[in-house]
Amino acid sequence: MIHPAIPASSSKPSTLLFPGDEQFWFETVRMFGADEYGGASFGEVLAVSTRIAAGDYDGWYDAWNAMAERIAAEADGQIARNHRISARDNYLRASNYYRASEFFLHATPQDPRVRHAYECSAACYRAAAALHDPEIRPVEIPYEGTRLPGYFHTAGEGVRPLLIMHTGFDGSAEEMHWSGARAAVERGYHALCFDGPGQFGPLHREGLVFRPDWENVVTPVVDFALTLPGVDPSRIALRGESLGGYLAPRAAAFEHRLAAVIANDGLYDYGAPHVGRLPEAAREALVAGQKTGPVPAIDQAMEAAMKTSPVMRWAMTHGMWCFGAATPSEYMRKTLDYTLAGGIAEQIRCPVLVCDAGDDLFFKGQPQQLYDHLTCKKALMIFTEAEGAGFHCEVGAARLANARMFDWLDETLGM
């Protein structure tokens, strides 16, 4: 078990912006944290945030979209004058600002602003990728009659280990740039980032929704990875973020070509936190009752909770879209399939690093459950609020978190 040097703080931090709205504050910290690898600028994030009122989804879109458009236009002018580095940096930030702009609009995914922001985010990232040296190569990975979008970050010549990376419930392959891909390249790893069904690209492009049997997503990705130049087939690792803390271990239980897995943060049973919020009678109706159709008592309870909880309001609307559910109760029922119980966690053979953020807003206690059920070589890495890394997936502390995760991976793969 790996522990940090600084103990956890006993006091819970307040939101410094957006008082009373933990979801807006978390997403803002996420944006501040992207600064560490060039995905945002502290001053720009602060300037945008001061123009948004807590809970105002349209205002959030307007402010972030305006900043994205300004930065992208500046990049267009810079590339026209052959200022390649300046354009690269601006396109990268604009990509993230476009991504952030549509984040809270998913209650109505047919809203044209959602598609527009996605297309602009991806286009700006591809423009930035082409200006990197070595170039970051966009890829399309064959998957069940379609293709999954992604990016191959090469660390240079020669045969090297590969880190496959994907996000979770609400991130993007583009966001993996500052969430770990560039940290991998700095350390001599190739990195292959991709979006699976339910995630940013496939969800926006084709309406593909999540599936619990994630090995059927990762296996085609590993097949594709083995066709890439310079990949050591004996040193392919997988890292999943957020809901990816369930998805990546699930894949590893069945895809045994993986040499190591990082679950950031670890997630043993995705449905448990959802069911745990319900009154006992509603919980029984969901778990032991009907398997199809809405459960009115749950839908009424969730609709009431969404009026008072910013986190619930966002989580339910986005969850219904990315899981392909018409009602909150249908979404919650679908989450019950996303579990490593029943001996699945015990089937993982490769070493696993389970990360745990001490002040996790969403899945507190889940990393320890995953760790306890693993029978392979394993480590539990705890990040704390006192060191600025206690948020879910250590947002705002990427340099610190990546250093510890990659040190473990280096030692595990013999780097």
CB contact set of 66 (below 8 Å; sequence gap of 6+): none
Q: Give the separation between CA 259 and CA 414, rounded to whole angstroms.
A: 11
- CA 288 to each of CA 181, 285, 294, 330: distance values in angstroms, whole numbers, following the listed order: 42, 6, 14, 14
Q: Give the separation between CA 141 and CA 124, rounded to whole angstroms.
A: 20
Annotated active-site residue 242? The verdict is yes
Residue 159's CB: how many other CB atoms inside 10 A? 13
Instruction: Say which DSSP state 170 is in.
Output: S
Closest of 229, 275, 221, 208 to residue 248, by C-alpha: 221
Q: Are 181 and 165 in contact (CB under 8 A)?
A: yes
Distance of CA 36 to the CA centre of its chain: 17
Closest of 351, 353, 411, 360 to residue 381, by C-alpha: 353
Q: Are 151 and 129 in contact (CB under 8 A)?
A: yes
Q: Give the separation between CA 100 and CA 24, rounded to whole angstroms.
A: 11
- CA 326 to each of CA 42, 107, 190: distance values in angstroms, whole numbers, following the listed order: 38, 11, 40
Q: Give the separation between CA 415 and CA 403, rounded to whole angstroms.
A: 14
CB contact set of 343 (below 8 Å; sequence gap of 6+): none
Catalytic residue among 121, 172, 179, 242: 242
Distance of CA 380 to the CA centre of its chain: 20
Instruction: Say which DSSP state 139 is in.
Output: E
Q: Give the separation between CA 136 and CA 88, rounded to whole angstroms.
A: 12
Instruction: Say which DSSP state 2 is in.
Output: B
Q: Are 330 and 294 in contact (CB under 8 A)?
A: yes
Amino acid identity of 394? Answer: E
Closest of 174, 192, 186 to residue 230, by C-alpha: 192
Residues that are catalytic:
242
